[in-house]
Amino acid sequence: MSARDRLKLLGDRADPLTKCQAEAEEDAEREAREKQEARGRASVSPTIAALQAEIIELRAYVVQRDQEYLKMTETLIEGFDKIESWTRKTIEARVLHSEAAMCARISERFGELRGQISAIDPTRAKNDEPFKFANERARDDDIPELPNFLPARAIN
């Protein structure tokens, strides 16, 4: 029977030697536990250190990747801005080109129409006067002569 067991049985009636032996046994068991825990910590400690080092490396990697992603995002935004301005300029250029082509086509057709009207109108052909529309004037107060295409009627 151990000194601790005897101390539990006797309680306050135990002699001082039993008390001293029980304390010595407790101290020995505590030291054995501490040694075993130290051995366990020693075997776990390199693993923990390796994991901590890996975590530090991963944090540095994540920070680096975040910076790279920020740079790529900024580059994409700049590219989108350039695309927007290029698109706007291209559309404006095409609109101006279409407008110029349409004006050229209108003036060409208008000239053809003027030639056809001059060929049809016999009064203009006699005078060798070019055909003018009512809104075309040589001066501001000049009113062009308009042909009367309606047949004359006798009034009763």
Give the residue extent of every domain in the chain. 3-127
% of the chain residues with pLDDT over 90: 27
Residue 131 CB neighbour total at 10 angstroms: 19
pLDDT digits (tens, 9 = 90+) for 26-42: 888 888 888 887 776 66
Q: What global pTM score does this model have?
A: 0.35
Contacts of 117 (CB under 8 A, 6+ apart): 131
